[in-house]
Amino acid sequence: MVTKIKQAPKRKKLRTAGFSNPNALKLDIPTPPTLRECLAQNLFGSGISPRGYRELSVEHSKQLIERYPSLYRLADASPVSSSPPFAREGFACGDGWFAVIDKLSAKLSADPNLVVSQIKEKFGLLRIYFELSPLPSNEIEEGTDIALAEAVAESQMTCERCGKPGKHAQREGRWSVKCDACTAEEARRKSLRPWMERLLAGLPAAPGGRSRLDLSPEHALALLEKYPGLYREAWTAPTSPASRFAAGGFEIGDGWFRLVDRVSARLAKDPALHVVQVKEKYGRLKVYFERAEGVPRDPRLDAEMKPALDEDADESERTCEVCGEPGTHEERHRWWSVRCGPCDQIDEISAACERIGKLVGGLDLATFSANEMIQDAVRLALVDIGHAAAGQPSKSRERLPGIGWDRLEHFKDAAAVKGMPVDELWGFASEEAPVLERKLR
């Protein structure tokens, strides 16, 4: 995942030569933030996201530049391409080496002329370069050499990822120091599916995000953690290329989390089973699973499983798929689904916004102002929105923050909506309605 720096914290105005010429070109070139400024915003050097684990954590980087200001004074240098690497990338090694670097820095700061120009991992070992500066006394130089040799030797035995004892070895053609647990974790992460990566980043599994009909990342991860064998296709190679679970994870709304949790607990009793699809079909929870070949079946387990699974699926027909409150199973807009009253009304708000979008699509304020019929249709949709908003209990308002519920609720007052000035009506129809529709989709 690449986090781009959202905003350069410091902008310097750079004016080109032109002096008093008012027509001279004015340039506003953003200066890249320094390492210190990046860290203050919890970003890594140059605002670039960590290179896997090969970057000291922001917290530890901050501690080091504060503890040893002279040694790491390049943290305040402008990180342009001609500056020393430290100014651009900071501590370019894993967080497991923090203690090694801290100890080394304490020894190095005995020499006030020493400035670190690069600190990184190379061939699996800690490597440090310094800026050229006046030569210190022989004594200090000797001390520095010993400290460096000790730190490098220590890095060779310390897992670069977690700091526990590790082995210096070639892994997939690349030298590194890692402990066994971190080696396994790295391999697991490498085999992660794209939807798992999104979940771990706290994003919905579906790339576009079906928003209201996505299992929340917390709930999805909780299931994967609780039933690792059952959901093994999140990590291991899928049994068939058509496995929907491997391709997309849980394809259900968050309201059914409790049900899926219960189904999973039942299925996990049989270690030969693993899930290949979890989805909603005709408004019912469907969980498809496969059985490993050659594992003897337990007839008693089989006998109790089937009715239990049917019972859970039946319960899904009475549980709002969006929020988990009691809901009704019916055909809505040609699709069978289960929704509670308030969630149904949210769909109505969304549909009203869509109607408004169709009414004003392609118009401008002038044509809109001249067409009273369209204005009346928009006002009608607005009153619908007002009634649906008024029906939202605080629970669903909390689940969907940033909607401005109180304001929407006022639209239920038909007389007020009728008296709404045309430009205000146009503002809502052309700008707010599409945003609202997207948020509630």
Joined together, the tokens standing for residue 367 give 């044509």
Interface with Zn ion, residue 343, by CB under 5 A? yes
| Rounded Cα distance, 49 and 328, in Å | 46
Radius of gyration of the CA atoms of the chain, in A: 30
Q: To the nearest whole angstrom, how small is the minimum distance from the Cβ of residue 383 to Zn ion? A: 23
Contact by Cβ (8 Å): 327, 283: no
Joined together, the tokens standing for residue 9 give 């914290």
Closest of 263, 265, 250 to residue 216, by C-alpha: 250
Contact by Cβ (8 Å): 58, 36: no
* Residue 30 DSSP symbol: B
Closest of 182, 189, 191 to residue 161, by C-alpha: 182
Q: Which is nearer to Zn ion, 144 or 319 (CB)?
A: 319
Stretch that binds Zn ion, among 98-106, 153-161, 229-237, 241-249 (CB under 5 A): 153-161
Q: To the nearest whole angstrom, how small is the minimum distance from the Cβ of residue 340 to Zn ion? A: 3
406: Cα separation from own chain's centroid? 30
| Rounded Cα distance, 264 and 259, in Å | 8
Q: To the nearest whole angstrom, how small is the minimum distance from the Cβ of residue 153 to Zn ion? A: 18
Interface with Zn ion, residue 148, by CB under 5 A? no
Q: Which is nearer to Zn ion, 118 or 176 (CB)?
A: 176
Please report, as residue ranges, which positions from 252 to 281 form the binding site for Zn ion (by CB under 5 A): none
| Rounded Cα distance, 117 and 317, in Å | 64
Task: Out of 71, 104, 159, 234, point to the residue binding Zn ion (CB under 5 A).
Answer: 159
Rounded to whole angstroms, what are the CA distances from 305 to 92, 108, 144, 266, 297? Answer: 53, 66, 69, 7, 12
Stretch that binds Zn ion, among 74-82, 86-94, 152-160, 230-238 (CB under 5 A): 152-160
Interface with Zn ion, residue 389, by CB under 5 A? no
Interface with Zn ion, residue 162, by CB under 5 A? yes
Q: To the nearest whole angstrom, how small is the minimum distance from the Cβ of residue 47 to Zn ion? A: 27
Q: Which is nearer to Zn ion, 47 or 166 (CB)?
A: 166
Binding mask 283-322 toward Zn ion (x if CB under 5 A, else -) reads -------------------------------------x-x
Q: Which is nearer to Zn ion, 319 or 430 (CB)?
A: 319
Q: To the nearest whole angstrom, how small is the minimum distance from the Cβ of residue 111 to Zn ion? A: 32
User: Which residue in this structure is represented by tokens 């430290």?
Assistant: 86
Question: 203 by DSSP, 3-state: which?
Answer: coil
Interface with Zn ion, residue 221, by CB under 5 A? no
Q: To the nearest whole angstrom, how small is the minimum distance from the Cβ of residue 261 to Zn ion? A: 18
Contact by Cβ (8 Å): 256, 321: yes
Give contact residues for Zn ion (rule: CB under 5 A): 159, 161-162, 164, 179, 182, 320, 322-323, 325, 340, 343
